A and B are shown apart, each in its own frame.
Chain A
């Protein structure tokens, strides 16, 4: 079972920031938080990951609370092309171990509206 809890769906106005929350209250000290998204009819796309510090890349920012029990993915200026299902996953980052497997929950369906 997925170790994360996400809202089923969210709406966001085009051009505004989209803030997607994720709860992972049972996260272990060696587990990272990964975010992926799946645009309709495509394979999942890696977005960003983090351990405990906030992270930013060209796609998004990841804010992780100090106790690491929750996080927020921020898309700073959402566009219609950001409409997708967003998955928050916690996993150990290593080769070969089952703890490193990606376990996908149901994710959050983000709809960006004009």
Chain B
């Protein structure tokens, strides 16, 4: 299975600033995904990122707020823009791999906005 790392692992940011989260995979993958997990909640899909095309956002998430880059088959970034305390969450990336498209997840980035 793919091994995924994320940077930073956690951060505390001020309201109104932006944070870019990096996701690195140890193998080439076509599909990468970004999720948000708000405190005490389950995971919610933010967007799907294919290399060479624009990310596809889920309902309730927009590119201006969560711009995503996917420059190659092993790397992606998610930016959380103009942050507010409501953006305090764990942000996770995942990749689709395996015979039946199993998803494998990174360790997550714990973001606190003050």
Q: Mark each residue of chain B from 37 to 51: 1 if its CB lies under 8 Å from any CB of chain A, else 0.
A: 000001111001010
Question: Does A75 reach chain B (CB closer than 8 Å)?
Answer: no
Interface size class of B (residues with CB under 8 A): 20 to 34
Q: Can you list, as one digit per residue, whether each of B17-49 has a CB less than 8 Å from chain A (1) or not (0)?
A: 000000000000011010000000011110010
Which residues of A are at the interface with B, using a C-beta cutoff of 8 A? 32, 34, 41-46, 49, 87, 93-96, 100-107
B92 to chain A, nearest CB (A): 5
How many Å from the CB of B27 to the closest CB on chain A? Answer: 15
Closest-by-CB residue of A relative to B42 is A104
Chain B interface (Cβ < 8 Å from any Cβ of A)? 1, 4, 30-31, 33, 42-45, 48, 50, 58, 92, 94, 96, 100-108
Across the A-B interface, give the 8 residue pairs with the lowest CB-CB distance, nearest first.
A43-B105, A104-B42, A104-B43, A93-B100, A46-B102, A44-B105, A93-B101, A43-B108
- How far, in whole Å, are A102 and B75 apart by their CA atoms in the complex? 21
SS class of chain A's interface: helix, strand, loop or mixed? loop
Supply 16 A–B pairs (Cβ within 8 Å), ascending by A. Answer: A43-B4, A43-B92, A43-B106, A43-B107, A44-B103, A45-B105, A46-B102, A93-B100, A93-B101, A94-B101, A95-B30, A96-B31, A96-B50, A102-B43, A105-B42, A107-B42
